[in-house]
Amino acid sequence: MTGNVTRKPNGKVAIVTGAAQGIGAAIATRLAHDGFDVVIADLKSADAKATAVAKTCEAAGARAAVIPVDVRSEEDVGALVAATVEQLGRVDVMVANAGIGPPVDFLETTTRTMNDLWEINIRGVMYCYQAAARQMIKQGDGGRLIAASSIAGLTGFPQLGMYSASKFAVRGLNQCAAAELGKYGITCNTYNPGVVQTDMWTGLDKFYSGRAGAPDGSALAAQAAANPMRRNTDAAEVANSVSFLAGPNSAYVSGASLCISGGQQMH
Ligand code: NAD
């Protein structure tokens, strides 16, 4: 995936939330190869997996730190940014990647599910953007705020009502941040993956395949067959696009939402 990227340290530090596995782990690893020092930020319960990701980043030549965070907590996110500055010196990129996506019927969606999705997928992004932006403004030389939306943040999908709403909201929040923070040299962008084969989609596949009375894997296969490119994607391919949003070639890109979906969602 990133083996051919020759690392040149860039003196910059990136925080990636939800980085113990899946898309976040791939982003952290990719940014380490790009030249960033990285913080693997995830729930305390994911510490072992986060440490393994940090080792991979260190093997690429980066400095890496594992800093536990629950993005639902403003205090935790503030402490994450403070600990990053303490351990690695600064914050140049915040990738607010942590998210959940439990499938549930519209009419069965409980207040608990609504709150979970809101707290992690939206409030978590807001806390990450705020805390990182404050630090970037203090540093005085700009920065990159990047958040996980989804193709479900552009079109509603069945059984993903509150998830979709949360991912639409991520784009709204991101656009407002771009409008307000541009004057500080801070760019704000979202990445909108299509069907990425991580634990999240393993769960969705089980749910949709089960509903159809079909074997596991059927829903994923159906998604691939319906995609204009006739395939799904993996976390590394999403990380390639985030690498662009974090890197020097996107310096004047802000308020954008980049779909990585093989054309499943055109935007
Ligand atoms: P995943 O379930 O594999 O990983 C999510 C990570 O987030 C886990 O490591 C988990 O511990 C962490 N996390 C969950 N709650 C947290 C919290 N409160 N605080 C800190 N960390 C927390 O998911 P993924 O597929 O890698 O998805 C990553 C992001 O990409 C999510 O925001 C998701 O909505 C989005 N996304 C995924 C897909 C896909 O097809 N997999 C598609 C579109 C968007």
| Residue-level pLDDT at 22 | 98
How many Cβ atoms from other residues are within 10 Å of residue 251's Cβ?
A: 11
Q: What is the chain's mean pLDDT, rounded? A: 97
Distance 137 CA to ligand 1 centre (A): 28
Residue 6 pLDDT level (bands cut at 50, 70, 90): confident
How distant is the alpha carbon of residue 97 from its chain centre? Answer: 2
pLDDT score at 1:
47
Ligand 1 centre from 17 Cα, in Å? Answer: 9
Judge whether 63 lies within some domain.
yes
Same domain? 52 vs 135: yes
pLDDT confidence of 4, banded at 50, 70, 90? Answer: very low
Question: Quick check: is 212 in a domain?
Answer: yes
Question: What number does the ligand 1 atom closest to the CA of 191 have?
Answer: 44
The pLDDT score that the predictor gives to residue 63 is 98
Is the same domain home to 181 and 204?
A: no
Asked whether residue 23 is domain-assigned, the answer is yes
The residue whose CB lies within 8 Å of the most ligand 1 atoms, and thus the one to mutate among 42, 73, 81, is 42
Distance from the alpha carbon of residue 202 to the mean position of ligand 1, in angstroms: 12
Same domain, 244 and 208: no
Residue 234, SS3?
coil
Q: State mean pLDDT over 230-239.
A: 98
Distance 183 CA to ligand 1 centre (A): 30
Instruction: Check whether 156 has a pLDDT greater than 50.
Output: yes
**pLDDT value of position 2:** 46
- DSSP H or E segment with residue 146: strand 143-148
What domain range is 201 assigned to? 197-232
**Ligand 1 atom closest to Cα of residue 50:** 9
| Mean pLDDT computed over 71-98 | 98
* pLDDT score, position 267: 81
In this structure, the number of other CB atoms found within 10 A of the CB of residue 213 comes to 7
- pLDDT at residue 264, rounded to an integer: 95
**Same domain flag for 160 and 204:** no
Residue of 16, 23, 95, 245 with the most ligand 1 atoms within 8 Å of its CB, for mutation: 23
- How wide is the angle at C-alpha 261 spanned by C-alphas 260 and 262, nearest 5°? 110
Spatial CA neighbour of 155 closest among 265, 17, 22? 265
Residues 128 and 185 in one domain: yes
- Catalytic residue list contains 163: yes
Examine residue 21 and state whether it is found in any structural domain, yes or no: yes
What number does the ligand 1 atom closest to the CA of 71 have?
19
Q: What is the pLDDT of residue 5?
A: 57
163: in domain? yes
SS3 label, residue 48: helix
Q: How does residue 160 score in pLDDT terms, banded at 50, 70 and 90?
A: very high
> How many CB atoms sit inside 10 A of residue 139's CB?
16
Q: Quick one: what percent of the chain has pLDDT higher than 90?
A: 97
In the 8-state DSSP scheme, what is residue 10? -
From the candidates 127, 129, 163, 191, give the one annotated as an active-site residue.
163
Question: Residue 82's pLDDT is what?
Answer: 98
pLDDT > 70? residue 102:
yes
- 3-state secondary structure (DSSP) of residue 196: strand
